[in-house]
């Protein structure tokens, strides 16, 4: 009898565990917090990763930063064609963002994000490159933003006709 009671209690707990694990974040849950090196950002379903990084840089007036991220996204990579000066896009849905790295700088008064990444599908096939867009699909995306003390700008350089980070001189 003790075994049946224990089994019933265990099954009851197992049935309620997924519901607790899928709790909806409260409206007061912050999207980011300050940490010693910069910011920890957690984005949820539907959020545009690049747009939220731009908003963070504007709101917090970041002079420049680098970032890394992981999560689950719908993502569009682009391959830059130097002849046409255009990106050839390719979109992947419901993929695991295995790695995303990039920098935050400014182009005039506008935030300039440069991001590259690798994403894998359910067959573990990897695709990657320059990130044109990333939208959180299921789950979340976690981003660690490391803030730098120097104001950095980007400018179009010819050649190659690309937007290049300017280090400048002190």
Q: Where on the phi/psi map is residue 126: left (φ > 0), alpha (ψ -120 to 50), or beta?
A: beta
Determine contact, residues 130/167, Cβ cutoff 8 Å.
Answer: no
Mean confidence (pLDDT) of the chain:
88
pLDDT-based confidence at residue 21 (cuts at 50, 70, 90):
low
* Residue ranges of domains in the chain, CATH in brackets: 27-166 (3.30.1330.80)
- C-alpha span between 140 and 96 (Å, rounded): 10
- State the average pLDDT over residues 91-99: 98
- The tens digit of pLDDT for each residue in 128-140 reads 999 999 999 989 9
For residue 25, list its beta bridge partners: none
pLDDT at 118: 99
Looking at the predicted structure, is the pLDDT value of residue 93 above 70?
yes
End-to-end CA distance of the chain: 78
- State the average pLDDT over residues 47-75: 98
For residue 67, list its beta bridge partners: 102, 145
- C-alpha span between 119 and 127 (Å, rounded): 6
Q: What is the pTM of this model?
A: 0.82
């Amino acid at each position: 009898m003790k075994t049946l009671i224990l089994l019933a209690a265990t099954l009851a707990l197992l049935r309620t565990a997924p519901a607790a694990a899928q709790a909806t974040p409260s409206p007061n849950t912050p999207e980011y917090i300050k940490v010693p090196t910069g910011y920890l950002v957690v984005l949820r379903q539907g959020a545009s990763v690049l747009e939220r990084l731009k908003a963070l840089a504007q709101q917090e007036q970041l002079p420049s930063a680098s970032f890394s991220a992981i999560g689950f996204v719908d993502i569009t990579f682009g391959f830059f064609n130097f002849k046409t000066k255009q990106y050839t896009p390719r979109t992947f849905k419901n993929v695991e963002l295995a790695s995303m790295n990039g920098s935050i700088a400014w182009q005039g008064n506008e935030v300039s994000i440069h991001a590259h990444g690798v994403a894998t599908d359910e067959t573990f096939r990897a695709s990657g490159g320059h990130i044109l867009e990333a939208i959180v699909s299921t789950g979340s995306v976690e981003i660690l933003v490391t803030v730098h003390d120097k104001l950095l700008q980007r400018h179009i350089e010819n050649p190659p006709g690309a937007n290049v980070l300017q280090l400048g001189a002190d």
